Structure 1
Amino acid sequence: MDIKQMQYLIEVARHRSFTRAAEALFITQPTISKTVKGLEDELGVVLFERIGKKIVLTDAGQLIVSKAQQIVAEYQNMAAELDDLRNMKRGHLRIGLPPMVGASFFPSVIGKFHERYPKITIQLFEDGAKKVESNVVEGALDAGVAVLPTSQEGLASFPFVEERLHLVLPPEHHLSGRDQVHLKELAEDDFVLFRKDFTLHDRIIATCTQIGFQPRIVYESSQWDLISEMVAVGLGITLLPETICREIDDERVRIVPLDPVIPWKLGIVWREDRYLSFATREWIQFAREMLVTSTDYRGEA
């Protein structure tokens, strides 16, 4: 078993799909299927089993993938250290961004970073904050944006924006004329939320539960603009961060402050117990300077 085979195996386990793993690796699906079959023959065990249309790891598969992740991480650390020794100031960055924050904060930051380091390539992955966190911990990403405080151990971070959630209502909603709405007044409403892999999904449900009710979720999406449109046509209500609310057409919906305040704090995260490549170290420092020290990017507390 070589490093490339291990990487193929890890991607199949991560995506739970040969097709999606092949797309992520930019290879054909038959190639990755043949590789996994060859590993099964070589090791004398079954690594994956099919359940309906999904594939899941067997016990042997879980053991081998766990060990493969450790070996690949060590290999990547070694390669990164060698690159630094050569002092070539080039490299590759894998950055995870939740869809709701990418367009609001990062195009200019990434553009200026590329101007300073034209030999560093950047690959962006859009996923919910929970998925970004886990991928950084597993080594699939070098750094990412997550909602603070993080739920994963072993992550270092710095915050760059702190806001609050606002209530977004259809114009005809009976609370749309209010200056402020208490969360408990929404107990009988239908909610339109981000998917479960978004930290915001869990944060809203947890706060509602603390208030004394379980929100009735009728639709979920990964796109804030689709969520706001569903609210605009009366399919439900939602809670969105101030940054996103500023992008919404306020003639189609009503945006109302919420009581109690639900904070939304974003930060850059990375593994604190792993060697960081030159590219990753420079990105963290550059992002800190641009997002924290520049008033153009700092959110309101």
Structure 2
Amino acid sequence: MEIRHLQYIAEIVRCNSFTKAAEALHITQPTISKMIKNLENELNFEVFDRDGKPIKLTAAGKAIYDYAVPILELFDNLQTEINDLTYLKKGSIRIGLPPMAGSSFFPSVLKSFQDRYPGIAIKLAEDGAKKVEEQVAEGALDVGVVLWPVDETLFESFQLVSDRLKVLLHPSHPLAASKQITLNELANERFILFNSDFALHDRIINECQAIGFDPHIVYESSQWDFIGEMVAENLGIAMLPERICALLDSAKVSTVPLVQPVIPWRLAMVWKRTGYLSLATREWIAFNKERFASQ
């Protein structure tokens, strides 16, 4: 058994697919299948139950996977620390960014960081804050931007920005000219939300349920600009942070402050409390602390 066998098994479980795991590892699907089959022949038992879908680990495969996760984390930490000792200011950082954070202020942050540290490579993963948080916890990302508050038993963190949600409506909507809107006034509306990978999805539903109604969700998306376009077509109402609303075409959508309750949108940068942080990642964290402290 080799370390790459553990890497392949872990990736197949993460992707729940031999094909997607092969793509993520930049190898062919026959190659990964052959490697797993060779391992099974060596061990004289099957790692994966191939009788049905989704793919499942056998009892023996589950035992290997349970050991593989911490072994791979230690191996990755070892490689990173050796890289730091050898190359100092070089290396790479895996950063998770929600689409709204990426579009509103991180392009300039990334440019300034690369100007200061041209030897550090940045690998971006754009996903909802909820998904980013999961990937940081799993060690698939070094650091990520998520919605505040965070689980302080799992993560170190600091707050980046503080904002609040506004309501997006078609200009012809009866509430479009209001100075402010209460959540209760939206009880009978058609809601357009981010999908379940986004923390705002659950936050908005929970806030609606707290005052006594379940929102009627007609569309879900992973793109804030597409959500804005759907509102512009009068397909429903939506809620987005104030700074994102400022990027929308005011001729197509109206944005009104939400009150009773005010729903905050606070972003934080998080990284795992345990495990080795590469020098490149530590530089990124320090750079952003300095950058956002001045805002």
- Shorter-chain TM range is over 0.9
CA contact (8 A) 1:145 1:269 kept: yes
Give me the TM-score of the superposition, normalised by structure 2.
0.93
> Alpha carbons of 1:119 and 1:208: their partners in 2 closer, same or farther (altered >3 Å)?
same
> Alpha carbons of 1:294 and 1:59: their partners in 2 closer, same or farther (altered >3 Å)?
farther
CA contact (8 A) 1:99 1:126 kept: yes
> How far did 1:160 drift?
0.7
> Alpha carbons of 1:31 and 1:170: their partners in 2 closer, same or farther (altered >3 Å)?
same
Give the corresponding residue for 1:298.
none
Gaps of 5+ in 1: 296-301
**For 1:32-86, what per-residue CA distance to the aligned partner results, in whole angstroms no more than 9, with x for missing partners?**
222233333334123254655x434444444432321110100111122222333
Give the corresponding residue for 1:111.
111
CA distance in 1, matches of 2:198, 2:18: 24
> How far did 1:4 drift?
2.0
**For 1:82-109, what per-residue CA distance to the aligned partner results, in whole angstroms no more than 9, with x for missing partners?**
2233353211111111112112121121
Give the corresponding residue for 1:97.
97
CA distance in 2, matches of 1:176, 1:50: 56
Q: How does 1:42-53 map to 2 (within 5 A)?
A: 42-43=42-43, 44-49=45-50, 51-52=52-53
Q: How does 1:1-301 map to 2 (within 5 A)?
A: 1-43=1-43, 44-49=45-50, 51-52=52-53, 54-86=54-86, 88-151=88-151, 153-259=153-259, 260-290=261-291, 292-295=292-295
CA distance in 2, matches of 1:58, 1:183: 49
CA distance in 1, matches of 2:38, 2:111: 43
Matched position secondary structure for 1:30: helix
CA distance in 2, matches of 1:249, 1:222: 19
Report the residue type matching 2:148 in the other structure.
L
**For 1:175-209, what per-residue CA distance to the aligned partner results, in whole angstroms no more than 9, with x for missing partners?**
11111111011111111110101001010011011
Gaps of 5+ in 2: none
Report the residue type matching 1:23 in the other structure.
E
Query: What RMSD in Å do the two structures reach over aligned CA positions?
Result: 1.8
Number of aligned residue pairs: give it.
293
Matched position secondary structure for 1:171: coil
**For 1:218-252, what per-residue CA distance to the aligned partner results, in whole angstroms no more than 9, with x for missing partners?**
11110011111111101111111112111111110
CA contact (8 A) 1:97 1:144 kept: yes
Report the residue type matching 2:274 in the other structure.
D
CA contact (8 A) 1:191 1:219 kept: yes
- Name which of structure 1's ranges 3-12 and 97-106 shifts more when overlaid on structure 2: 3-12
Identity among equivalent pairs (%): 54
> Alpha carbons of 1:153 and 1:135: their partners in 2 closer, same or farther (altered >3 Å)?
farther
CA contact (8 A) 2:88 2:279 kept: no
Give the corresponding residue for 1:299.
none
Report the residue type matching 2:187 in the other structure.
A
> How far did 1:19 drift?
2.5
> Alpha carbons of 1:123 and 1:169: their partners in 2 closer, same or farther (altered >3 Å)?
same
Report the residue type matching 1:266 in the other structure.
L
**For 1:130-149, what per-residue CA distance to the aligned partner results, in whole angstroms no more than 9, with x for missing partners?**
11111111111110111011
- Name which of structure 1's ranges 8-17 and 130-139 shifts more when overlaid on structure 2: 8-17
> How far did 1:22 drift?
2.2
> How far did 1:288 drift?
1.4
- Name which of structure 1's ranges 157-166 and 80-89 shifts more when overlaid on structure 2: 80-89
> Alpha carbons of 1:202 and 1:88: their partners in 2 closer, same or farther (altered >3 Å)?
same
CA distance in 2, matches of 1:58, 1:236: 46
